[in-house]
Chain A
Amino acid sequence: MRVFLVSVLLLASAACVDGGDNPSKVEDLRVLAMRVEPAELMAPSCDPGTLPALTTPISFRALVVDPKGETRPVRASLTACSKQSDRDCNEEDSVRLVMFDEELASEELVKGEFTRMVEPTSGNVGQYVEDLARVLVAAAEADTYKGLGGIRLPLVLHVSAGEEEIFAQKLMVFSCPRVEGQAQNVNPELPGLLLEGADWAEAGLPELSGAGPFDVEPLDFSDREEAYVVPSLAFPPEPVHLTESWKISWHTDYGRMEPQETGGTDLGGFAGRHQVQWLPPANDPRPQERVRVWAVVRDGRGGQSWLERSFRYAP
């Protein structure tokens, strides 16, 4: 038993190793979310030769926050890459398609967001479709399941500002209905947030004071979580019926959010409660004219969206 206790103590000490950093604290350049619209491109059937409409315009939005550099330039590029494991899309055998690569104007990062349309432009539609199809085929070949769960095309956003650099990957799903009931996914949308139990409007700037903690929670969205169907790995594939269990990651540019992520349903069937608290810095909290909070919601199928709210804080 002594060994057991020692082991528990050591494991506890390991768990308590202070990482210093906290994912909810946005203190430097961060990519917090990436969203494509539509969330999924589905072909009408899985017959060979039937492809999703590759000419469909894709709206790409990213939530990029750079608290340290309101005036410094941010360079961003988006590349479709064939290998999920190639997270910076830098391996020699990866097939790539650069979708954009440019320096963002400072005014473009509105509330930390920027938007780009990815679509074939007049004159080179054929080349675009050919290039995209080439990356998709390579992605399907690189996939362990050869596209059974849909071809998940990695989109790699490369963001750099000053000394900081981030490669952020988002999977865009191109699929077809392999089993009955499969339908195209749509992005999740949170209906709103509550701060200390009161409605927290986007344009509002409520004031908080004291040591906290202060309760934050989303408005009920359970009716928005979709039921959906995916093929099983059995042979032949059978429909697997699932229901989305949204997860929300919480971020702030002052203080921290606890816990950093809520939601999802674990193996025991427990759905996480979206009970979150904002806590000011433990040491020497200062008055803040505007503290920003981001709630990024993920539906577990590639769909994402986010809300931004602000408040004024006095210790």
Chain B
Amino acid sequence: MRKTLTPLAALVGVLCTFSAWGQAYEGARREEVDGGVHQPVLTRAPELLGFVQADYPPGAAEAGKTASVKMAVTIDVEGAVSDVSVVEPVGEGFDEAAVTAVKRFRFSPAEVDGVPAPVTIEYVYHFTLAAPPPSEAPPAPARAVLKGQLLERGSRGWVEGGTVRCGEAADAPEATSDAEGRFTLDVPAGTCQVRALAQGFRLFHTDESLEAGETREVAYYLMPEAVGYETVVRGARDKKEVVRRTLERQELQKVPGTFGDPIRVVQNLPGVARAPFVLGQLIVRGAAPDQTLTLMDGVEVPLLYHLGGGPSVVNAEFLDRVDFYPGGFGARYGRAVGGVVDVATRKGATDTLHGSVKVDLLDAGFFVEAPIGKGMSVAVAARRSYVDALIPLVLPEDPEGGTLQVLPRYWDYQARLDFGGLRGEAKKSTGYLMAFGSEDTLQVVATGGGRARDLTVDTRTLFHRVKGDWTYRDGNFTSVFTPFGGFDLAAFDFGAAKLDAEVFSLGGRELAEWELSSFFTARAGADVLFEHVRGKAELPLLSFQYVAFPGAEPKAEMQTLEQVVNGFDGALFAEGELELGPVTVTPSLRGTWARKAGQGMGALDPRLFARVQATERFAVKGSVGLYSQAPEATDALGAPWGNPGILFERALQAAVGVEQRFTDAISVDVTGYFNRRFDLILSPGRTIDNGDGTYTQEANSNLGLGRAYGMEVMLRHDVTRDFFGWVAYTLNRSEARRAGSDNGYLLTAFDQSHILTAVGSYRLPWWDLELGARFRYVTGRPTTPELQYADLYQADANRYYGFYGDAGSARLRPFQQLDVRLDKSFVFDRWTLNVYVDVQNVYNATNVEATLNDYRFRDVFEVPGIPLLPVVGFKGSF
């Protein structure tokens, strides 16, 4: 047997990491631009220019052994190999031989953001043996041509850099697939034992019988090693905050108990309290839900979920990543005294047409993505419910003998057009246009028959957003400009009362970054938002327009109210990032000036972030800063609708923590925090003595004080081939009080002392099954105990009241629940069917979400949480 070394090893895809920690998951190729934040983008992949054959280990050759050695190869800015480490050792001398050879490889330099940069790639060196050649060369056989394309099975994605061979022999015909997965092989006529191999795919083999002179066109569908996981590039992003938790697509779609709704996954991270039932509220470090800013590609969205608690308004297929900042975020973010959630959408496919169709019992949606020209791609998603058509089929006849209708309906859409990003350009402009929106309507009619009161409700909530994104890079300068416009409509008809509000918004962000030296980077930008609000209401005089009597429901004169309110919120910010060896210090300043309903207000928010990378795997970090959130324009209206003297809500946020990475995939983050919120807007506000015997009731005032402190622990296993998961623990105390009141700080309604969430998802070795589980243990929410010893009756209102103990001095029982999810993918050549079973509350724990009283407050009844609930879902993608 002659020992032969076959360079089957090929540079398969572009496997880059910008840090040693970023290799755990091969995520989707993308450009990362979120919220005006520049993310490094690989603009040119390294190409292998000089291949060196490895020495076949003698012992292995004699034993007839073959092997494939997977290595992490670091390439410097010159294209030389600066470091090689074996990812999966195989022994027998193969590892050493492969490392020795690869160290002598030569590559073309990779480019990041258009400039040469060091990268780390994954490389597999294959050692194979072939039979010795026959003593006499046979006559040259007749030839044939095998042409074709390597495609990913289940999605039809092009497989670039795959190797196609005809036979096992060392000198067997061999070809490498190009960027579109195409290859051409000149082969002997007869039976060709085709072997196709590509990084991240299982070995494909088949036999082709070719006649002499025949040219055969084929398409080979290669089975991915991890079905549904996508290929590759991950750029580790600069850490400029003490805590930024990023969830990748895999984590967003497969967490049990979240119904596959990516935004709900954020609720499983440290610092986020559990919302009651299965509602999607984000309660971050004790802040109210409206104090956490929710952005989609950097643009604020008015609502996250359809119909209040339904599916999120963004198709899950459209999401690329969710960044969650529980606090301490940089100066480029504002308008929030709680946290920030930034949802990033993804660029459309650049290889070929892909898509998915999801059909549910109550809605249907699609997602398609495709290249549409040189350097351009498009992605479109839409969804429409048909529950309004189904409900009349299941709703019983009106038991009152009148008319009863309940008609909820919703739809949403997202579209994104990407352009630019071609290789080899010294100056590059890239960007995209994006449009998204949604509408919810709900009609309820219950009239006539024997009912004592008619009811007609018609609500409509609509929003559209259009945004652009232009990124310009030139050497050490980068500019990202994000203009956007929007239209919101909210309408509420209740009988004769009608309320309509329209909001036209126009805004933009600009972030400029100069890398002035190897140790100092300066950033500056602007963030402006203008809103024009038109409101109209036709409704009876409201009880807060006069001093209403308890229990009264008089007939009141109708009134027509019209308001036009303008609101402006503009900020300038600057940030310097100084890196002195292991120490990074980032001071920043954000100055905000707002004008709401003619009332001007300003705030200056200095922030400081520091990080000490003590060792390669251990870091200490801390931050402190001021944060401001402007009131809504309508909050600044005159009484009784608002308060012209209303000002910013403010917060002081401080945090300190440590990070320790144990392995390439496993890390822990421990962060302590203290948030002091002040000037919070409370309603009702002060009662003002006008001095003439009359009083004015302010609708709201900056009277709220709050504080939250605690510790967050995140033990995380990054997404690898077979597993991802985390254990999140939060120790928290959040309190609030009204300035000027006699009461001290009281626990907030959502205070939860201990929040433990464990999430794990494991790819089973059989049948492409993936099993996930989530367990949660959460301290019960505060309640106020009842001390009823007698009935308390208010005879004018015909209503009872309770005797209560100290506010928040009792709690609901702790919450605990285990959810399990099982995914199975059926991979066909051209499409994939995914079926999952998501079982909530597997052991049917009896949790308490709230309590109710009987009408006299003599008894307390517990409102149970969600029982054992299995949900089955189907999704087809191509």
**A residues engaging B (CB < 8 A)?**
1-7, 10-11, 13-14, 17-23, 31, 33-34, 46, 87-88, 144-146, 148-150, 152, 160, 164-171, 225, 230-237, 240-245, 247, 249, 259, 261-276, 296, 298, 300-302, 304
- Contact call A165/B791, Cβ cutoff below 8 A: yes
A-B contact count (CB 8 A): 248
Q: List 22 A-B contacts (CB under 8 A).
A: A1-B310, A1-B363, A2-B259, A2-B360, A3-B264, A4-B310, A19-B859, A20-B854, A21-B856, A144-B697, A145-B697, A165-B789, A165-B791, A168-B791, A169-B796, A231-B694, A234-B640, A267-B497, A268-B496, A270-B495, A272-B453, A273-B451
- Contact call B497/A304, Cβ cutoff below 8 A: no
Chain B residues whose C-beta falls within 8 Å of the C-beta of A271 in the assembled complex? 555
Residues of chain B in range 857-878 having any CB-CB distance to chain A below 8 Å: 858-859, 861, 863-866, 869, 871
Chain A residues whose C-beta falls within 8 Å of the C-beta of B385 in the assembled complex? 1
CB of B87 within 8 Å of the partner chain: no
- Pick from A88, A145, A240, A242: contact of B695, CB below 8 A: A145
- Using CB atoms, name the residue of chain B closest to A171: B796
Return B227 CB to nearest CB of chain A, in Å: 24
- Contact call B791/A166, Cβ cutoff below 8 A: yes
Query: With the chains together, A241 CA to B541 CA distance in Å?
Result: 9
- Contact call A165/B790, Cβ cutoff below 8 A: yes
CB of B19 within 8 Å of the partner chain: no
Chain B residues whose C-beta falls within 8 Å of the C-beta of A249 in the assembled complex? 798
Closest 3 CB pairs of A and B: A268-B495, A149-B547, A264-B553
Query: With the chains together, A244 CA to B554 CA distance in Å?
Result: 5
- Contact call B549/A302, Cβ cutoff below 8 A: yes
Return A19 CB to nearest CB of chain B, in Å: 4
Q: If the complex has contacts A231-B546, A259-B452, are A7 and B693 also in contact, measured as CB distance less than 8 A?
A: no
CB of B852 within 8 Å of the partner chain: yes
Query: With the chains together, A88 CA to B794 CA distance in Å?
Result: 10
Q: Interface code B302-339, partner A: CB below 8 Å = 1, 0 otherwise?
A: 00011111110000000000000000000000000000
Return B304 CB to nearest CB of chain A, in Å: 12
Chain B residues whose C-beta falls within 8 Å of the C-beta of A3 in the assembled complex? 259, 261, 264, 278, 280, 305, 309-311
Return B799 CB to nearest CB of chain A, in Å: 10
**Residue of A7, A22, A144, A243 with most partner-chain B CB within 10 A:** A7
Query: With the chains together, A270 CA to B447 CA distance in Å?
Result: 10
- Contact call A171/B550, Cβ cutoff below 8 A: yes
Q: Interface residue count for B (Cβ, 8 Å)?
A: 89
- Contact call A23/B855, Cβ cutoff below 8 A: yes
Query: With the chains together, A32 CA to B134 CA distance in Å?
Result: 111
Chain A residues whose C-beta falls within 8 Å of the C-beta of B278 in the assembled complex? 3, 6-7, 10
- Contact call B859/A87, Cβ cutoff below 8 A: no
CB of B662 within 8 Å of the partner chain: no
Chain B residues whose C-beta falls within 8 Å of the C-beta of A21 in the assembled complex? 854-856, 858-859
Query: With the chains together, A21 CA to B454 CA distance in Å?
Result: 26
Q: If the complex has contacts A231-B547, A240-B545, A296-B798, are A265 and B792 also in contact, measured as CB distance less than 8 A?
A: no
Query: With the chains together, A117 CA to B760 CA distance in Å?
Result: 74
CB of B137 within 8 Å of the partner chain: no
- Contact call A265/B277, Cβ cutoff below 8 A: no
CB of B168 within 8 Å of the partner chain: no
- Using CB atoms, name the residue of chain A closest to B457: A268
Q: If the complex has contacts A20-B859, A231-B546, A272-B453, are A6 and B277 also in contact, measured as CB distance less than 8 A?
A: yes
- Pick from A14, A145, A244, A264: contact of B547, CB below 8 A: A145
Chain A residues whose C-beta falls within 8 Å of the C-beta of B547 in the assembled complex? 145, 148-150, 230-231, 233
Since A19-B855, A150-B547, A233-B697 are in contact, a sample of 13 more A-B pairs with Cβ atoms closer than 8 Å, ordered by chain A residue number, is A1-B361, A3-B278, A21-B859, A23-B855, A144-B695, A145-B697, A152-B549, A231-B546, A243-B556, A249-B798, A263-B553, A265-B540, A272-B453
Chain B residues whose C-beta falls within 8 Å of the C-beta of A272 in the assembled complex? 452-453
**B residues engaging A (CB < 8 A)?**
259, 261, 264, 277-280, 305-311, 360-363, 385, 387, 408, 450-456, 494-497, 539-542, 544-558, 639-640, 687, 689-690, 692-697, 789-796, 798, 801, 803, 849-850, 852-856, 858-859, 861, 863-866, 869, 871
Chain A residues whose C-beta falls within 8 Å of the C-beta of B306 in the assembled complex? 1, 4
- Pick from A236, A240, A302: contact of B546, CB below 8 A: A240
Query: With the chains together, A264 CA to B261 CA distance in Å?
Result: 43
Chain A residues whose C-beta falls within 8 Å of the C-beta of B311 in the assembled complex? 1-4
Query: With the chains together, A261 CA to B452 CA distance in Å?
Result: 9
- Using CB atoms, name the residue of chain B closest to A34: B795
Q: If the complex has contacts A3-B310, A46-B693, are A247 and B553 also in contact, measured as CB distance less than 8 A?
A: yes
- Contact call A265/B795, Cβ cutoff below 8 A: no
- Contact call A237/B863, Cβ cutoff below 8 A: no
- Pick from B455, B696, B795: contact of A31, CB below 8 A: B795
- Pick from A20, A266, A298, A301: contact of B453, CB below 8 A: A266
- Contact call A144/B856, Cβ cutoff below 8 A: no
Q: If the complex has contacts A1-B385, A169-B793, A230-B547, are A267 and B854 also in contact, measured as CB distance less than 8 A?
A: no
- Contact call B692/A240, Cβ cutoff below 8 A: no
- Contact call B791/A17, Cβ cutoff below 8 A: no
Chain B residues whose C-beta falls within 8 Å of the C-beta of A20 in the assembled complex? 854, 859
- Contact call A268/B494, Cβ cutoff below 8 A: yes
- Pick from A14, A270, A274: contact of B863, CB below 8 A: A14
- Contact call A298/B551, Cβ cutoff below 8 A: yes
- Contact call A300/B552, Cβ cutoff below 8 A: yes
- Contact call B496/A169, Cβ cutoff below 8 A: no
Return A235 CB to nearest CB of chain B, in Å: 5
Query: With the chains together, A146 CA to B695 CA distance in Å?
Result: 8
Chain A residues whose C-beta falls within 8 Å of the C-beta of B793 in the assembled complex? 31, 166-169
Chain A residues whose C-beta falls within 8 Å of the C-beta of B789 in the assembled complex? 165
Chain A residues whose C-beta falls within 8 Å of the C-beta of B852 in the assembled complex? 14, 17, 19
- Using CB atoms, name the residue of chain A closest to B387: A1
- Contact call A19/B854, Cβ cutoff below 8 A: yes
Chain B residues whose C-beta falls within 8 Å of the C-beta of A148 in the assembled complex? 547, 693-695
- Contact call B858/A245, Cβ cutoff below 8 A: no
Q: If the complex has contacts A13-B864, A17-B863, A272-B452, are A267 and B495 also in contact, measured as CB distance less than 8 A?
A: yes
- Using CB atoms, name the residue of chain B closest to A150: B547
Chain A residues whose C-beta falls within 8 Å of the C-beta of B849 in the assembled complex? 10, 14
Query: With the chains together, A34 CA to B689 CA distance in Å?
Result: 33
**Residue of B451, B558, B689 with most partner-chain A CB within 10 A:** B451
Query: With the chains together, A156 CA to B309 CA distance in Å?
Result: 43
- Using CB atoms, name the residue of chain B closest to A244: B554
Query: With the chains together, A282 CA to B547 CA distance in Å?
Result: 43
Query: With the chains together, A90 CA to B431 CA distance in Å?
Result: 69
